[in-house]
Amino acid sequence: MLFDVESFSKKAPPFLKWAGGKGKLIEQIDYYLPIELKLGKISQYVEPFVGGGAVLFHIAQNYHVERFLICDFNEELILVYRTVQQDVDSLVKKLAKIESQYFQLSWEGQKKFFYEVRSQFNASHSTTDFTKFSADWIERAAQFIFLNRTCFNGLFRVNSKSEFNVPFGRYKKPKICFKDNLFQISKILQATEIRYGDFTSCEDGIDSESFVYFDPPYRPISQTSSFTQFSKSDFDDDSQIRLASFFQKLDQKGAKLMLSNSDPKNTNPRDRFFEHAYAGYHIECVKANRMINSDAQKRGKINELLIMNYSQL
């Protein structure tokens, strides 16, 4: 295995908390990365469900890849990545200011500050042009990062009016301004094309020299863990099947592919959903610490699937 745990701690980790974030699964994912990537023979890394970007940042800082293509259906998240890409200096200044203001406040004051920022963030949603970079993006991206670091569990949830409605989290000293980290990530994003939209919108950018890692919203492992609603999209079984067809299509293009999801056998040993959807592909079962679950009792080790169109042998 080419993986060295020690070296990872010196590299920039994700700056956002993200439901389903792959930070805890990175060792297992690394182990199963295609040999072509490890040998520097992959020219492009693609992540169509980028979320907090744990795998993107890991690959960018440990392997030699010329360019990156990322996508997500969450327009606020995409605005943040594009801001880090286009004007990280202004963003870091704004975050440092928010951080110092926040830490000077009492506990009650911090809570009030959080709800004020949340109201401002929601009030400016309708007037934000998500398609064109402007100075307004700096403010919005800083508000998003602040809310992400200080809200309950770092969740991103919006109501039917697209208003962010996650309550204040109880953190003693949350890290808000990741200065060095953001600069390092901004460098990675200089070589990255950032798209907003459905995972299929990456198709035209993928060729036989690409490695694609798919981390879609989980297929719920039980009735009580429906953490499939990340933004407005509801990723149901039809979407999982649509994704499996897309996987097949990219396989025919010659790209190397890996996909992760929860193992339905965690709760129903007879559920063969992924074996059917990905028949003929290589499926590995790995152990994961699932961090975000509606049921605190179920935060232990559960099985996750890694599905690949290549074999490690």
Ligand X SMILES: C[S@@+](CC[C@H](N)C(=O)[O-])C[C@H]1O[C@@H](n2cnc3c(N)ncnc32)[C@H](O)[C@@H]1O
Interface ranges with ligand X (CB under 6 A): 18, 20-22, 48-49, 51-52, 54-55, 71-74, 198-199, 215-217, 230-231, 233, 235
Residue listed under structure tokens 């991103």: 156
Decide if 215 contacts 55 (C-beta within 8 A). Answer: yes
- Closer CB to ligand X, 34 or 52, in the complex: 52
Distance between CA 51 and CA 214 in Å, rounded? 11
- Closer CB to ligand X, 75 or 275, in the complex: 75
Decide if 158 contacts 33 (C-beta within 8 A). Answer: no
Q: Show Cβ contacts of residue 129 under 8 Å, excluding neighbours closer than 6 positions.
A: 136
Helix (H, G, I), strand (E, B) or coil at 18: coil
- Closer CB to ligand X, 54 or 91, in the complex: 54
Strands, sheet with 301-308, edge to edge from the N-terminal-most edge strand = 192-196, 67-72, 44-47, 210-214, 256-262, 301-308, 282-289
Task: Please measure the distance between the N-terminal and C-terminal CA atoms of the chain and give it in whole angstroms.
Answer: 12
- Closer CB to ligand X, 113 or 240, in the complex: 240
- Closer CB to ligand X, 71 or 117, in the complex: 71
**Least Cβ distance, residue 18 to ligand X (angstroms):** 4
Q: How far is CA 188 from the centre of its chain?
A: 15
**Least Cβ distance, residue 104 to ligand X (angstroms):** 31
**Least Cβ distance, residue 135 to ligand X (angstroms):** 26
**Least Cβ distance, residue 113 to ligand X (angstroms):** 26
**Least Cβ distance, residue 58 to ligand X (angstroms):** 9
